[in-house]
Amino acid sequence: MDTTTPAQTPPRATGGEDKTVAIVSYLTLIGFLVAVIVHSNKKTKLGAYHLRQMLGFIITSFAVIILVVIPIIGWLLIPVFYICMLVLWVMGLIAAINGQMKPMPVVGPMYQKWFGTTFD
């Protein structure tokens, strides 16, 4: 008797829901702004989800600039931080391409909680 639960797969875009906003939101800050504008004309759950993920990602990335003020800590942590952020960005982009509402590891659920109704 198997008592393990199957791994939950993240929800996918419903029907023909457009993935354009979700994907474009990951393409630089300008892409994020373009995605916000496009999303305001045609709102989708998938687009709103990935816009929230990317908003949190951008805020987190800019917040690390504060570490530069403290040279010893900043110089040691910034390279590690940005490598981790690159990995999270790639994982978010892959989820958007696949049409999944899958949060970035560790920080993604927090972004959804903090920005819960943003872009709805």
Q: What is the mean pLDDT of residues 13-37?
A: 84
- In this predicted structure, what is the pLDDT of residue 48? 93
Alpha carbon 94 to chain centroid distance?
10
Q: What is the tens place of the pLDDT at every residue in 28-43?
A: 899 999 999 999 988 8
Check if the beta carbon of residue 56 is closer than 8 Å to that of residue 107. yes
Give dist(CA 84, CA 65) in Å, integer.
Answer: 15
Q: What is the tens place of the pLDDT at every residue in 41-73?
A: 888 999 999 999 999 999 988 877 666 656 666
Model pTM score: 0.77
State both tokens at 114. 């903090």
Residue 111 has pLDDT above 70, yes or no: yes
Give dist(CA 106, CA 119) in Å, integer.
Answer: 22
Q: What is the mean pLDDT of the chain?
A: 82
